[in-house]
Amino acid sequence: MFKIVILALLAAIVLSLGSGLVFLYKDQGGSRRLVKALTLRIGFSLLLFVLLFLAWAMGWIEPHGVLPPGAK
């Protein structure tokens, strides 16, 4: 369940970034849609960070290293 939330937030971040790119090329100034799209992206990124930190603190997820245990 938590993995679905993480994937949904990552998809929302990518979609917001893509819409910001479209608004950058489509609107030649005078529109605040680009600012709103990038503000949403920052909000989604912060929400994802907070959720990951809370999940780690509650023991729902566990961090691991790049190398498997015992490999040096």
CA distance 32 to 39: 11
List, for residues 38-57, the tens digit of each pLDDT value.
999 999 999 999 999 999 99
What's the number of CA atoms in the CB half-sphere (13 Å) around residue 36? 6
- Global pTM reads 0.78
pLDDT of residue 69: 67
